[in-house]
């Protein structure tokens, strides 16, 4: 269960703001408050702040998510929203809604909706010019008094619409081109290890790229296509054994894709390392029985000396093969994860829109 500072029903003066931040946090996979503080600090450094001025405490971030508050640190709230992938205008919509509720004003049902930018400007002006507000230095708390009664209705806010960001449209042909390029990357990696006898596989770099960039099922499709295309060996005969390993590549594509886009394993460097280890262990567990069936000696080009080195210490072929394959798989999947992530970061911005919201490392 993830810790959450927000409640269900607005009760405090600025609960709409706190609940809006909580919803953003849930949409981003419930990153910890310490992680959000780190993202805010990185933003401040990128904006030119000094290291001392860029630091923000976890408890300070946590306070912004608490309901029932009478004071609001508006600059920090905007920074948190930005760190969680939303525009600052979303915060202005929450503020406008809070001001409207706290003043007890209601809108006529026939009142036309104002444009989002007008709402944002009105909310910002209402906060910044509110009577009784205390001027503070940058990133300081901003106490805001309740607005005076007025007969003029406030412009209606639509925070839900602003919050519900829609991904940009990506044409199908661009997705297909990206998948073909990922397939070619897999085949190039396989060719490289075959001709150079490297103790790696490198035939899942493109699969990892597709899974992280385009989603788990497209990544799995690229992995399966690699094994089908791999039947056409660089040697004279067809390599039908390649089809036996199709499940390994499909499994890797699914774990990479779901790990990034559903389980939140791309938010920090340790999680990415953990994702690589999980892919390595699962793929190795599936590959070892296949190796024992099709390669009775357990030997493969490029990994022979690894197996022999382990076999000298563990004189049992199946155990030595499992250990050696896991060692090679861990190194291979680490390379595939981070090279794949680097390649995915080169994709058009519309295509990597989802990835940027799951992996802060690729945000520009």
- Quick one: pLDDT at residue 155? 37
Annotate 110-123 with b (16+ C-beta within 10 A) or e (fewer): eeeebebeebbebb
Query: Does 172-362 carry CATH code 3.30.365.10?
Result: no
Domain ranges across the chain: 15-163, 172-362
> What are the beta bridge partners of residue 71?
143
Q: How many CB atoms lie within 10 A of CB 273?
A: 14
d(CA 28, CA 39): 13
Tens of pLDDT, residues 226-266: 999 888 765 656 677 788 889 999 999 999 999 999 888 98
Tens of pLDDT, residues 269-280: 999 999 999 999
Tens of pLDDT, residues 197-214: 888 889 999 999 999 999
d(CA 25, CA 308): 50
DSSP 252-290: HHHHHHHHHHTS-TTSSHHHHHHHHHHHHHHHHHHHHHH
Contact 311, 317 (CB under 8 A): yes
Give the predicted TM-score (pTM) of the model.
0.57
d(CA 18, CA 227): 49
Residue 353, Cβ density class (10 Å: 0-12 exposed, 13-18 middle, ≥19 buried) = middle
């Amino acid at each position: 269960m993830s810790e959450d500072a927000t409640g269900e029903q607005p009760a405090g003066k600025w609960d709409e703001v706190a609940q809006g931040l909580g919803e953003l946090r849930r949409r981003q996979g419930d990153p910890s408050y310490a992680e959000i503080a780190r993202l805010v600090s990185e933003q401040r450094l990128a904006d030119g702040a000094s290291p001392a001025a860029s630091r923000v405490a976890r408890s300070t971030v946590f306070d912004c998510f608490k309901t029932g508050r009478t004071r609001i640190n508006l600059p920090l709230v905007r920074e948190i929203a930005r760190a969680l992938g939303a525009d600052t205008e979303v915060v202005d919509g929450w503020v406008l809604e809070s001001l409207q509720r706290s003043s007890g004003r209601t809108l006529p049902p026939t009142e036309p909706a104002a444009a989002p930018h007008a709402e944002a400007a009105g909310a910002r002006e209402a906060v910044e010019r509110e009577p009784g507000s205390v001027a503070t230095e940058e990133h300081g708390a901003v106490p805001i008094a309740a607005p005076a009664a007025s007969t003029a209705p406030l412009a209606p806010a639509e925070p839900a619409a602003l919050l519900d960001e829609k991904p940009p449209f990506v044409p199908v042909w661009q997705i297909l081109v990206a998948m073909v390029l990922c397939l070619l990357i897999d085949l190039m990696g396989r060719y490289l290890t075959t001709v150079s006898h490297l103790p790696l596989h490198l035939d899942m770099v493109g699969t990892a790229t597709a899974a992280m960039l385009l989603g788990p099922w497209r990544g799995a499709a690229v992995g399966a296509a690699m094994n089908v295309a791999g039947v056409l060996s660089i040697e004279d005969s067809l390599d039908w054994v390649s089809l036996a390993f199709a499940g390994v590549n499909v499994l890797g594509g699914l774990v990479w894709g779901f790990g990034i886009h559903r389980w939140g394993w791309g938010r920090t460097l340790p999680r990415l390392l953990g994702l690589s280890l999980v892919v390595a262990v699962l793929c190795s567990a599936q590959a070892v029985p296949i190796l024992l069936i099709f390669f009775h000696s357990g030997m493969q080009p490029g990994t022979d000396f690894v197996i022999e080195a382990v076999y000298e210490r563990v004189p049992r072929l199946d155990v030595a093969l499992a250990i050696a394959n896991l060692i090679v798989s861990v190194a291979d999947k680490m390379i595939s994860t981070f090279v794949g992530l680097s390649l995915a970061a080169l994709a058009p911005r519309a295509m990597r829109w989802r990835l940027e919201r799951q992996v802060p490392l690729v945000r520009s």
